[in-house]
């Protein structure tokens, strides 16, 4: 995760040296009152990916064991503005939350590899079976070919 320093134009005007020090330290500066971010060129792509993931939180749907058959909550999202391959997220801690901002791990829909986080072996096996059984519906949702209701109707528990 990238370190982002929240600031405002008033704070920068009051202490321009701190602003320059943050820039020299290659920190990302979020000018909250202006709606701007200042970032080193090398960090822009990573920042864009993080912001795209945050935007997807609003589009993400969550399903618990009664729908998926998987012990932990599964989060499914459409592609949005992300650049990564299709994947699902699993709630890790807490395991039954419907809030995707907790500790999660991600599994690629294409081949079932873990692409982010750590997943206990038993849970990973459940997630892979879920993906195998539902790959077509998951990819249709990822590509915006179906809506949330159609996704729910097509999902098969494992």
- What pLDDT, in 10s, does the model give residues 87-103? 999 999 999 998 877 89
Distances (CA, A) of 83 to 35, 48, 72, 142: 23, 9, 26, 12
Residues 129-149: b if buried by 16+ CB within 10 A, e if exposed = bbbebbeebbebbbeeebeee
Name which of 128, 150, 130, 131 is nearest 141 in CA terms: 150
Q: Give pTM, 2 decimals.
A: 0.69
- Higher pLDDT: 88 or 28? It is 88
Q: How far is CA 122 from the centre of its chain?
A: 22
Residue 48 has a pLDDT of: 64
Q: CA-based angle 82:88:90, to the nearest 5?
A: 125
Confidence (pLDDT) at 43? 78
Residue 94 confidence (pLDDT) = 94
How crowded is the C-beta side of 99, counted as CA atoms within 13 Å?
5
The lowest-confidence range among 19-28, 36-45, 58-67, 108-117 is: 36-45
- Show me where the domains of the chain are located: 4-53, 57-154
pLDDT at 101: 78
* pLDDT value at residue 1: 47
The single-letter DSSP state of residue 146 is S
Question: What tokens does 33 get?
Answer: 């009152």
Does residue 120 have a pLDDT over 60?
yes
**pLDDT-based confidence at residue 2 (cuts at 50, 70, 90):** low
CB atoms within 10 A of CB 104: 21
């Amino acid at each position: 995760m990238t370190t982002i320093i929240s600031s405002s134009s008033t704070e920068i005007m009051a202490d321009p040296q701190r602003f320059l020090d943050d820039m020299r330290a290659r920190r990302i500066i979020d000018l909250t009152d202006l709606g701007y971010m200042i970032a080193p060129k090398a960090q822009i792509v990573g920042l864009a990916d993080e912001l795209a993931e945050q935007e997807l939180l609003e589009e993400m749907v969550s399903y618990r064991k009664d729908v998926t058959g998987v012990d932990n909550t599964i989060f499914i999202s459409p592609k949005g503005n992300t650049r990564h391959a299709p994947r699902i997220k699993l709630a890790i801690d807490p395991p039954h939350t419907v809030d995707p901002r907790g500790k999660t791990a991600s599994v690629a829909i294409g081949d079932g590899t873990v692409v982010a986080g750590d997943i206990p072996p038993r849970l990973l096996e459940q997630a892979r079976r879920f993906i195998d059984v539902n790959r077509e519906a998951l990819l249709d949702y990822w590509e915006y070919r179906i809506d949330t209701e159609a996704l729910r109707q097509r999902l098969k528990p494992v």
